[in-house]
Structure formats: C-alpha cells, structure tokens
Amino acid sequence: MSLSVNAFISANLLQISNAKPSFSGDDFIKILPELIVLLTGTVVMLADLFLPRDRRPILGYVSILGYAGAIVASSFLFYYSPPAGVPNTSFGGMFVRDNFTTFFEITFLISGILSVLVAPNYVLKRNMPIGDFYNIQTSAVLGMMVTAAAGDLMVIFVGIELISISVYILTGFARNDRGSAEGALKYFLLGAFASAILVYGMAWLFGMTGSTNLNEINQAIITTKGLKEDIGLTFAMLLLIVGLGFKIAAVPFHVWTPDAYEGAPTPITAFMSTGPKAAAFAALIRVMVQGLPQLAEQWTLIIAILAILTMTLGNVVAIAQKSVKRMLAYSSIAHTGYIMIGLAAFVNNPQLPNLQRDAIGSVLIYSLIYVFMNIGAFGIAIWVQNKGGGIDVDDFNGLGSWAPVPALAMAVCLFSLTGLPPTGGFFGKFFVFRAAIDSGLTWLVIIAALNSAVSAFFYLRVIVAMYFRPASEDVKTRNQPTGAFFLSAAMIIVTIAILFLGIYPGPALDLAKDSAGQLFQVVKIATGQP
C-alpha cells in the first residue's frame, strides 16, 4: 500500500518538477479569479485615460463589478476538484489552487470591494486621481491573490512585491500632504530593506534544500539526513520570519506601521491594514506550514513570543493615542498579534488533523472577520473626516446624538474589535484562543485575554466620546449632507456581516476549517504520508 502511494507521490513530484511551462485549459480555470482581477485593472486603467475627469468615479462600479465577478469565480472554485491523478497545482507547481487559496482570495476581494466603497468621497474631496487609485488597488489585490496561491518561493516574492509596491504608491497618494509623503518614504525604505531580507532568506533556503518549491523544500528536509538540525536552515527560517514579520507588522518589525498608517489617506489605511496584512499571513502560512513544518517546534515558539510582544505593544501604545487613526493603527498591530496566536498553535503532527485544521482555520476566519471590522471602523472615521472634522477622539464627541446610525455602526465595529459577543470579533478570538489552548498554549491565551481587556480601554474611549459626551459647537456647521451612498453601503454590509459572523458563524467556520484542511492535504501528499 505504502509502496504504491510512494510511487504515486514520486510520479507526482516528477511531474511537478519536470513539467514544461505549457498551459492547459485547466490551468486557466484555476487562475480565473486572478484573470478577472487583472482584466478589471486593465479596463480601469484604459478607461481612466479616455473618460473625462468628472465621469471617472464610475470606475468604482467597474472595480466592484470586477471584484464581485472574481468572488463568484472563486466561490465556484471551492467546488472545483482536478481530475483524478492530476495535482491541484498549475504552471509547474507555481500556483496552487486549493480551498486555502480560495478562502484567502475571497477575503482579499472583500477587502478590495469594501475599500473601493469607502474611498470615493474622501479621494474626490482631496482631488486625488480616482482612476489611478482604483487601478493601483487592483494590482495590490492581484498581488495578494497570487501570494496566497503560491506554491513556490518565487511566486510568493513576486506577489509580495506586487502588493508592496502598489501600497507604497497608495500610501504616498496624497501628494501635497507631508504626512503622506513621510509615511510612504518610511514605508518604502524599510519595506525595501525587509524585501531584501526576505529574498536573502529565500536564497538561503534554496541553497540548503536545492529547491524553491515549497513541497520540495519540505520533502528535502525530511529526506536529507541532518538537514533538519542544520543551523543554516534555522537561519533561513529566521530571515523569512523577519521579512514576513515586517509585512504583517509584527513587533519589533512594526516601526513603519504607525507613520505609514497615519500618513496614508484614510481609505488606503483601511485597505492596507486588512488585505495586505492577510496576504502576508497567507505567505507566512504557505512558507512555514507547507515549506517548513519540520521546524514547527522552533518557529511556533518564535511566533508565540512575537505574538506577545505584538499584542502588548500594540494595545499599550494605542491607549496613549489621541488620534483615532493612529489608535486604529496600533490596534491593527495588536490584532496581528492575535492572529499570530492561531499560527503559533500549529503542531506538526499529522496524527492530530483536527488540531492542525483548527489552528490554521482560526487564522483564516480571524483574517476574514478582521477585514470587516477594521474597514468598518476606518469607514466611520472616514465619514467623520468627510464631514470636515478631524480624526481625533474629540471629533467623535456626541456622534451618537447627531448621527445615530454611523455611531451605531462604529460601536458595532469597535465592540467587535474588542471581542465582545455577539459580534464576529468575539467569535474570531474565541476560535483563536480555542486552537491555542488545544495545543497547550494556555499561558499565551491568558496574556491575550488580558490584552483584550486592555484594548477595551481605548476602544471604549471612542464609544464614550460618541455616546456620553455632548457634541461640540461646530457640529451644526459641518453637518452638511454629502452623498455618501458608497460609504453607507459599505457600512451596512460591514455591520450585517459582523453580526452575522458573530451569531451564526457555523458555515464560515466550516469553510475555513475545510480550507485549512486542504492545505494539509497538499502537505501530506508532498511528504508521502497517506
């Protein structure tokens, strides 16, 4: 039995490694969502050239339509299974189409749609070129999708760079704003540095194992004697954690985050704190779980320690912030920490499939919920800014009385970020904690729980400002209606999604767990464990 399986596996691997770069129709089905997004980006870019300036906002509809089409395509791909004997990879193992990919793709696309929805008023008011905005954003989303689907270090690098470069541009999008330029420059310089570390780590890993394909790397570590204990491999792993840690904004690689998040135009901040972060997590999971599961004991410990630092620093520093935007920037660092707990809960023991699925599944579901709640919070911040107010906590004073509906949406998002039931944020935390406790990280969970209590403190400040404090004098003058149809739509979607994921998370959870399960299927086939 095992012989035949092995034969099958080696045949499989042979096929992967010797595959010529020839495309079949099947390959194109697998990358259909990516193609749709690419097409959308191209259409937006071209149309932007020919449309008169005042007609360009309709490009938003094109973007949304494109993303929605990609979501539909992705959803169908949940039910896609390759013909028997054919691997679910394409382009010579470069691109993996499993449910893990698909789940993340949908997360990214949702973050794309929501950011398109929250952007228009803000961007138009400040005379930023809206067509370019949509166009660059599509390329970032494309980068994220490619990253999640990567079966090879090279693809991960290409994807990450595609995201990073797009987001550098977007950060500096407010050309006349000093903060924006400062944030973009800092982000770019540090980001370039991190990319260099990342690619160095990849090179090192290639040198140690002789391959850039994640499955082959794993295979090589298993089969080559002494490689697992090799210090060089650990070094490569550390470099990769540093490089990707920068992209997810884990402490101590987070220093760019507050400035970039605060400097960037708020819709961009909403976008870059959700989608690209989730994409970097996808890359981290691909590299660590698919490529280096043999080193799990080492990297889960490192991730756990980084998670503690990340949560604690994010939450503690957020308390001191006056600006809601900067507070949300630090809170997004803290949430990176929570997500990392899910990853730290991974155990490289195929005998415990449930545990593995829960660990990675918790990362998936948390990322999805996080997209909703964070863009929601930023969305209301944008709304307040659009009204001509600033973005300090004081600008939210009395929002509950002069704008009850946005205040309610903000409250839902903030309670969700705090992790209170019955919101999605609570369920996300619950599931992350559950996975971590299952793999024996109770101490980590206790720290995380205390951190949540700390975080309640600063989220509550906004709630207090909104509901308990009277509105300031100038509210009447700035309370002019602006046609915020897109923004309202986004907020309605977000609020409903948060509550739905909080009250009836079953289906989404099953999907996440199933998607994580497929990742392990890939790992299993690669390592020859039936």
Partner 1 sequence: MLSVMTYLPLIGAVLILVVPKNNDLIRWIALLTTFANFVLSLILIFTFNQNVSGYQFEEKADWIPSIGAGYHMGVDGVSVLMVLLDGLLFFLAIIASWKAIQTRVREYYFAMLLLYVGCVGVFVALDFFLFYIFWELVLIPMAVLIGVWGGSNRRIYASVKFFLYTLVGSLLMLVAIIALYFQYTDVTKKASTLDIPTITNELAKAGGLSTTFQYWAFAAFALAFCIKVPLWPFHTWLPDAHTEAPTAGSVILAGIMLKMGAYGLIRFNLPLFPNASHDFAPIMIVLSLIAIIYGAAVALVQPDMKRLVAYSSVSHMGFVVLGLFSFASGLTLDKKGNELNILLDNRQAFDGAVFTMFSHGLLTGGLFLCVGVIYERLHTRDIKTIQSTLRIANRMPAYASIMMLYTMGSLGLPMISGFVGEFLVMQGAFRVNGWYAFVASFVIILAALYMLWVYQRVFFGKAEDYDLAFVDARIQEAEAISNAHGGHGAEHGAEAHDEHEHDEHGHEEHGHGHGHADKDMLRNGAKLPDLNLGEWFTLYPMAAAAIVVGIFPSLVLDFLGKPAEQIAHAMTSGAQHATIINVDLVALVQQLIK
List of residues contacting partner 1 (CB under 8 A):
397, 400-401, 415, 419-422, 426, 430-431, 433-434, 437-438, 442, 445-446, 449-450, 452-453, 456-457, 460, 464, 467-470, 472, 504-506, 509-510, 513
Helix (H, G, I), strand (E, B) or coil at 213: strand
The secondary structure element, H or E, covering residue 55 is none
CB of 110 to partner 1, least distance (A): 21
Q: Two tokens at 8?
A: 């099958």
Query: Which lies closer to partner 1 via its Cβ, residue 8 or residue 467?
Result: 467
Q: Two tokens at 421?
A: 């039931």
Q: Going by C-beta distance under 8 Å and a sequence separation of 6 or more, which residues neighbour residue 263? A: 171, 177, 179, 180, 181, 182, 183, 184
> What torsion do the CA atoms of 515, 516, 521, 523 make, to the nearest 10 degrees?
140
Query: Which lies closer to partner 1 via its Cβ, residue 104 or residue 433?
Result: 433
CB of 358 to partner 1, least distance (A): 9
Query: Which lies closer to partner 1 via its Cβ, residue 492 or residue 510?
Result: 510
Contact criterion met (CB below 8 Å) for 92 and 16: yes
CB of 434 to partner 1, least distance (A): 5
Q: Two tokens at 487?
A: 């923004």
Query: Which lies closer to partner 1 via its Cβ, residue 39 or residue 316?
Result: 316
What's the CA angle centered on 54, arms 53 and 59, to 5 degrees? 80
CB of 366 to partner 1, least distance (A): 14
Query: Which lies closer to partner 1 via its Cβ, residue 233 or residue 340?
Result: 340
Look at strands 89-90 and 95-96 and give their pairing: antiparallel
CB of 409 to partner 1, least distance (A): 14
Q: What distance in Å separates the CA atoms of residue 403 and residue 399, rounded to the nearest whole number? A: 5
Q: How many CA atoms lie within 13 A of 152 on its CB side?
A: 16
The secondary structure element, H or E, covering residue 483 is none
Query: Which lies closer to partner 1 via its Cβ, residue 207 or residue 404?
Result: 404
CB of 503 to partner 1, least distance (A): 8
Query: Which lies closer to partner 1 via its Cβ, residue 125 or residue 510?
Result: 510
CB of 355 to partner 1, least distance (A): 10
Helix (H, G, I), strand (E, B) or coil at 23: coil
Query: Which lies closer to partner 1 via its Cβ, residue 161 or residue 438?
Result: 438
Contact criterion met (CB below 8 Å) for 218 and 249: no
Query: Which lies closer to partner 1 via its Cβ, residue 301 or residue 446?
Result: 446
CB of 177 to partner 1, least distance (A): 30
* Whole-number Cα distances in Å, 328 to 107, 301, 308, 323: 20, 27, 18, 9
As a 3-state breakdown, the chain gives helix, strand, coil percent values, each rounded to 5, of 80, 0, 20
CB of 324 to partner 1, least distance (A): 17
